[in-house]
Amino acid sequence: MNRTLGVLISGRGSNLKAIIDAIEHGRLDARIAVVISNRADAPGLVHAIRAGIETLVLNHKEYATREDYDRALIHELRKRDVSLVCLAGFMRLLSPVFVDAFPDRILNIHPSLLPKYPGLQPQQQALDDGASESGATVHLVNKDLDAGPVVMQARVPVLAGDTADTLAARILELEHRLYPAAIAAVLDGTQS
């Protein structure tokens, strides 16, 4: 596969920024062909614009069905020869149409040690569960939410007095190192 990435975001885009930085600093040998957001006001778009990367807004509300939206995404990604799709805070469920278009070629990052705490608010789930550690997982996306094969994980302790916000911040720092490393491993075919 080529080393052309498409990054999908919906919000802040700090993981996108970490991927851009890793490429710029030579820690990740890849090229981001396009950053697509489903929200025009996603703050993260600015990271792509500043780096001279093409951005595209595809508003899901303008499509009749989830599949129609996903077909539009596929079209834009294929047009740019993207071989690896990186979800970075993309808050949309992807249909089987999308997953089948990029088999084993879609990555997601999730702020927990999957299979623990999938879905929403995983940091709060970890606290509610009394977990002594949590972390981040980069995994391949399949048709089940947060359930695809794990590519890489990293751990952080849960500390006394942690709130969902303090735990999220500790995990996020880890995410920014983990995601570029996991992308490199997938591109190099060295992931476990």
Is the separation of the CB atoms in 107 and 94 below 8 Å? no
Strand partners, 189: none
37 vs 191, which CB is nearer to ligand GRF?
A: 37
Of 71 and 147, which CB lies nearer to ligand GRF in the complex structure?
147
- Give CA–CA dist 166/156, Å, rounded: 12
Taking CA atoms, 102 is separated from 15, 73, 91, 96, in Å, by 21, 11, 18, 10
Closest CA to 32 of 12, 10, 55: 55
Residues lying near ligand GRF in the complex (CB under 6 A): 9, 11-15, 44, 88-89, 109-111, 172, 175
User: Taking the mean position of all CA atoms in its chain, how far away is CA 112?
Assistant: 13
- Give whichever of 71 and 166 is closer to ligand GRF, judged by the CB atom: 166
Residues with catalytic roles? 110
